[in-house]
Amino acid sequence: MTWNDQTKPQWGQPPVPPSTPPGARPAWARKRVVIPSALGLFFAGVIIGSAGSSGAEITNSAKPTPEVTVTVTVTAEPKPVDVSDDKPADPVEKAKPTAEDASKETPVPDFVGMGLQSAQDTAQAKGFYGLTSHDSLGRDRMQAFDRNWKVCSQNVKAGKTVSTETGLDFGAVKLEEDCPAKDQQPLESAGDRMPDLAGQSVKAARGALDSGTSVTVTDAAEDRMVLMESNWKVCTQAPGPGVKLKGQPVELTAVKFEEACP
pLDDT of residue 163: 96
Nearest-angstrom CA–CA distance, 71 and 198: 93
The answer to whether residue 97 scores a pLDDT higher than 50 is no
Contact 251, 219 (CB under 8 A): no
Q: What is the pLDDT of residues 10-56, one digit of tens each?
A: 555 555 555 555 555 555 445 454 445 555 555 555 455 554 444 44
pLDDT of residue 116: 98
The closest alpha carbon to 233, from 208, 261, 207, belongs to: 261
Q: What is the pLDDT of residues 53-89, one digit of tens each?
A: 444 444 444 455 555 555 555 555 555 544 444 444 4
Going by pLDDT thresholds of 50, 70 and 90, the confidence category of residue 247 is very high
State the average pLDDT over residues 188-192.
82
Q: What is the pLDDT of residues 200-237, one digit of tens each?
A: 999 999 999 998 999 999 999 999 999 999 999 999 99
The answer to whether residue 165 scores a pLDDT higher than 90 is yes
State the average pLDDT over residues 186-193.
82
Nearest-angstrom CA–CA distance, 134 and 113: 15
CATH for the stretch 105-174: 3.30.10.20
| Rounded CA Rg of the chain | 63
Name the residue with higher pLDDT: 195 or 93.
195
Name the residue with higher pLDDT: 24 or 190.
190
Q: Which residues pair with 133 in a beta bridge?
A: 170
Domain ranges of the chain: 105-174, 202-256
Q: What is the pLDDT of residues 98-148, one digit of tens each?
A: 445 457 999 999 999 999 999 999 999 999 999 999 999 999 999 989 999
Nearest-angstrom CA–CA distance, 73 and 39: 67
